């Protein structure tokens, strides 16, 4: 039975245990990571705490993403862009020893995320009007350069999916996913320039904080787009780690309102990730086929940190039901689905 959280408070108690486990439509727990207690020698704890802010932008022509991550042992800064018509994807990243210079906020509803050196500058800030994303990477793609100045409008009543789940003893995951934020601004990729309009462009956020097992695996799927009648529709689906009995992150987001889903199952052929995937749920409210058209393979090998991500971009078609039982037909909604394996 999933538990909906309604009581504000701290994420962790003085002993480092989760005060509550469950899900909520807005973040209501203060992410007090300084209370984490999972090693007897406290100085080692910072190397096991993971924090990231991952932004994604869906336009009619492009997918753009920028991330600032602190993985404890090292930081990871990366930006990538996918041109649908050309089927071209380019990504560049930086590994920052011991995450020096990386700034990430305590909570997801305020503050700024920041990194800058001579190679790149990324700045994400929560403003009263929404979320401001600024990226400048002059040497991106052999000197073509990439830059972005985008505002994701976020209404006060726009719902999101926040979950708090335990991972074995004294380990945990605190996450917030926001889909379908109207995007406005500009994006330049080399000599290509695109003006973003809220009527056709949407953004999303994956905000994660936690302490994982050293060896981890998960599936994640996400999409933000429009139905033929102009309604916004988002999907957030995941499974693979932690105790999901009290909460899952699975939901449909329709016009900024979350419709909660139960457990989901990803069916696909690994390592032939380009074959169609199927995603279903335990209550027969969700049945989607996902047909990939592009693979993003991201591999990191830094000795004690090792990860491999197969992020597939493709089109979703099928059916999902709202909380009141209404069926929503989905046809060729662009999004992604991924398999992630990590030792970190």
From first to last of the 344 residues of the chain, give the pLDDT tens digit.
799 999 999 999 999 999 999 999 999 999 999 999 887 777 778 888 999 999 999 999 999 999 999 998 899 999 999 999 999 999 999 999 999 999 999 999 999 999 999 999 999 999 999 999 999 999 999 999 999 999 999 999 999 999 999 998 789 999 999 999 999 999 999 999 999 999 999 999 999 999 988 889 999 999 999 999 999 999 999 998 888 998 999 999 999 999 999 999 999 999 999 999 999 999 999 999 999 999 999 988 777 778 899 999 999 999 999 999 999 999 999 999 999 998 87
C-alpha span between 233 and 105 (Å, rounded): 28
Is 272 among the domain residues?
A: yes
Q: How many domains does the chain have?
A: 1
Q: Is residue 294, in this structure, part of any structural domain at all?
A: yes
Name the β-bridge partners of 97.
Answer: 74
Q: Which of 79, 99, 97, 98 is nearest to 89 (CA)?
A: 79
**Contact by Cβ (8 Å): 290, 283:** no
On whether residue 174 sits in a domain, the answer given is yes
Measured between alpha carbons, how far is 127 from 115 in angstroms, rounded to an integer? 18
Contacts of 91 (CB under 8 A, 6+ apart): 78, 79, 80, 81, 296, 298
Residue 4 lies in a domain: no
Q: Domain of 266?
A: 9-343
Residues 6+ away with beta carbon under 8 Å from 138 = 145
59 is written with which tokens? 């336009």
């Amino acid at each position: 039975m999933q538990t909906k959280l309604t009581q504000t408070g701290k994420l962790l108690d003085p002993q480092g245990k989760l005060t509550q486990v469950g899900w909520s439509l807005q973040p209501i727990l203060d992410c007090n990571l300084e209370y984490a207690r999972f090693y007897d020698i406290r100085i080692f704890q910072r190397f096991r705490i993971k924090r990231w802010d991952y932004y994604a932008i869906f336009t009619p022509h492009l997918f753009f993403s920028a991330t600032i991550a602190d993985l404890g042992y090292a930081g990871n800064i990366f930006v990538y862009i996918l041109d649908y018509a050309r089927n071209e994807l380019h990504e560049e990243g930086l590994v920052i020893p011991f995450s020096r210079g990386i700034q990430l906020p305590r909570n997801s509803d305020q503050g700024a995320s920041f990194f800058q050196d001579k190679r790149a500058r990324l700045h994400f800030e929560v403003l009263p009007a929404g979320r401001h994303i600024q990226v400048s990477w002059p040497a991106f793609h052999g000197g073509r350069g990439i830059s972005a100045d985008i505002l994701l409008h976020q209404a006060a009543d726009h719902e999101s999916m926040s979950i708090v789940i335990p991972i074995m003893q004294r380990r945990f995951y605190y996450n917030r996913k926001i889909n379908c934020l109207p995007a406005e601004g500009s994006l330049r990729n080399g000599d290509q320039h695109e003006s973003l309009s809220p009527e056709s462009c949407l953004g999303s956020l994956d905000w994660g904080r936690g302490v994982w097992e050293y060896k981890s695996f998960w599936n994640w799927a996400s999409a933000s787009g429009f139905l033929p009648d102009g309604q916004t529709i988002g999907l957030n689906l995941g499974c693979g780690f932690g105790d999901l009995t009290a909460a899952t992150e699975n939901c449909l987001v329709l016009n900024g309102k979350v419709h909660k889903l139960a457990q989901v199952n990803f069916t696909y052929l690994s390592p032939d990730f380009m074959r169609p995937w199927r995603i279903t749920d335990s209550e027969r409210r969700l049945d989607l086929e996902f047909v990939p058209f592009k693979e993003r393979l991201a591999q990191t090998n830094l000795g004690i940190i090792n990860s491999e991500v197969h992020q597939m971009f493709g089109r979703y078609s099928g059916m999902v039901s709202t909380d009141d039982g209404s069926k929503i037909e989905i046809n060729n909604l662009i999004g992604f689905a991924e398999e992630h394996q990590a030792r970190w």
